Amino acid sequence: MARAARQHLNREVVLRAALALVDREGVEALSMRRLGRELGVEAMSLYNHVAGKQALLDGIVELVLSQARAPAPRGEWRAALTGWAAAFRASAHEHPNVIRLFATHALQAPAWSLAVEDQLRALREAGFSDDEAVHAYRLVATFVTGYALYELRQDASPPLEHFLAQLPPEHYPHTHAVSSALRELDRTAEFELGVQLLLDAVGARLPAGPRHQRGGAAP
37 pLDDT above the threshold of 70: yes
pLDDT of residue 111: 66
- Alpha carbons 148 and 126: distance in angstroms, whole number: 27
Considering the domain boundaries, does residue 171 fall inside one? yes
Structural domain range at position 24: 2-50
Q: Tens of pLDDT along 69-114?
A: 877 777 789 999 999 999 999 999 999 999 998 888 877 767 677 8
Considering the domain boundaries, does residue 60 fall inside one? no
Say whether both 117 and 196 belong to one domain: yes
Considering the domain boundaries, does residue 123 fall inside one? yes
Say whether both 110 and 144 belong to one domain: yes
Say whether both 43 and 78 belong to one domain: no
pLDDT of residue 107: 75
Considering the domain boundaries, does residue 155 fall inside one? yes
pLDDT of residue 155: 82
Say whether both 22 and 82 belong to one domain: no
pLDDT exceeding 70 applies to what percent of the chain? 90
pLDDT of residue 108: 73
216 pLDDT above the threshold of 50: no
pLDDT of residue 206: 79
Q: What is the CATH number of the domain that holds 187?
A: 1.10.357.10
Alpha helix (H) residue ranges in the chain: 2-8, 11-25, 32-39, 43-46, 53-66, 77-94, 96-104, 113-125, 130-155, 160-164, 173-177, 179-183, 187-203
Say whether both 130 and 25 belong to one domain: no
Say whether both 35 and 80 belong to one domain: no
Q: Tens of pLDDT along 110-157?
A: 767 788 888 899 999 999 999 999 999 999 999 999 999 999 988 878
Question: How would you class 71 by CB atoms within 10 Å of its CB: exposed for 0-12, middle for 13-18, buried for 19 or more?
Answer: middle
Q: What is the CATH number of the domain that holds 25?
A: 1.10.10.60
Say whether both 46 and 77 belong to one domain: no
pLDDT of residue 83: 92
Say whether both 29 and 111 belong to one domain: no
pLDDT of residue 210: 39
Considering the domain boundaries, does residue 97 fall inside one? yes
Sign of CA dihedral 89, 93, 96, 98: negative
Residue 158 banded pLDDT, cuts 50, 70, 90: confident
pLDDT of residue 16: 95
pLDDT exceeding 90 applies to what percent of the chain? 62
Q: What rounded mean pLDDT belongs to the chain?
A: 86
Considering the domain boundaries, does residue 218 fall inside one? no
Domains in the chain, number: 2
211 pLDDT above the threshold of 50: no
Considering the domain boundaries, does residue 126 fall inside one? yes
Say whether both 39 and 75 belong to one domain: no
Q: Taking each helix axis as running N to C, give the angle between helix 11-25 and helix 53-66, from 0 to 180 degrees, rounded to the nearest 10.
A: 90
Considering the domain boundaries, does residue 208 fall inside one? no
**Residue 208 DSSP symbol:** P
Which residues lie below 8 Å from residue 216, measured CB to CB, with a gap of 6+? Answer: 78
pLDDT of residue 161: 87
Say whether both 151 and 88 belong to one domain: yes
Say whether both 45 and 105 belong to one domain: no
pLDDT of residue 185: 82
Say whether both 112 and 176 belong to one domain: yes
